[in-house]
Amino acid sequence: VEQTFVMVKPDGVRRGLIGPIISRFEQKGFELAAISLRTIDRQLAEQHYGELREKPFFGELVDYLTSGPVCAMIWRGRHAVENARAIIGRTNPVEAGPGTIRGDYGMDISGNIVHGSDSDASAAREIALFFNREAAS
Ligand code: ATP
């Protein structure tokens, strides 16, 4: 069975959305495999979004991700990456449809509530980063 990495970002945690987000994954049919609440350091945030390093918003993105605790999770299920992205919705909450997490809870791309891996390779990389740092370094 496939698995994917999902993270409730600091704005989602501050707004009390961990519970509703977990419920949506459970209702969809996912099984929770691991969960960890913690404030991440800049190094981990920069590694996580390494492919965006050259973007003009990169510094702001790292500030956002380190501004409070995040809730990192591993979810198991069939077509885990694709199913998770479907219930999370488009990157920009303005474009995310109603019924998706970003569509229902977010207002702007700079606060889009949640992250989900975009491929099996990213899921493996991100799970190693957040749940087994020694394996990733
Ligand atoms: P995520 O990786 O968080 O699930 P994504 O894969 O849907 O998001 P990416 O294009 O990888 O989207 O962007 C990663 C994150 O960077 C977005 O979730 C958002 O928080 C932030 N981001 C992307 N574009 C912008 C932008 N133009 N301005 C500010 N932040 C942005």
pLDDT digits (tens, 9 = 90+) for 59-97: 999 999 999 999 999 999 999 999 999 999 999 999 999
The domain that contains 51 carries what CATH number?
3.30.70.141
* pLDDT tens digits along 1-41: 899 999 999 999 999 999 999 999 999 999 999 999 999 99
Structure tokens belonging to residue 132: 């087994």
pLDDT for residue 137 is more than 70 = no
Structure tokens belonging to residue 126: 């991100």
Q: Is 48 a catalytic residue?
A: no
Mean residue pLDDT across the chain: 96
Looking at the chain, the number of H-run helices and the number of E-run strands are 8, 4
Q: Domain count for the chain, please give it.
A: 1
Ligand 1 pocket, mutate which of 91, 108, 110 (most atoms under 8 A from CB)? 91
Nearest in space to 73 (alpha carbons), one of 26, 135, 27: 26
Structure tokens belonging to residue 55: 């973007």
Q: State the number of CA atoms in the 13 A half-sphere of 94 facing the CB.
A: 4
Segments forming the whole domain that contains residue 62 = 3-136
The alpha carbon torsion through 46, 47, 49, 54 (nearest 10 deg) reads 60
Q: ipTM score here?
A: 0.93
Question: What's this model's pTM, rounded to 2 decimal places?
Answer: 0.95
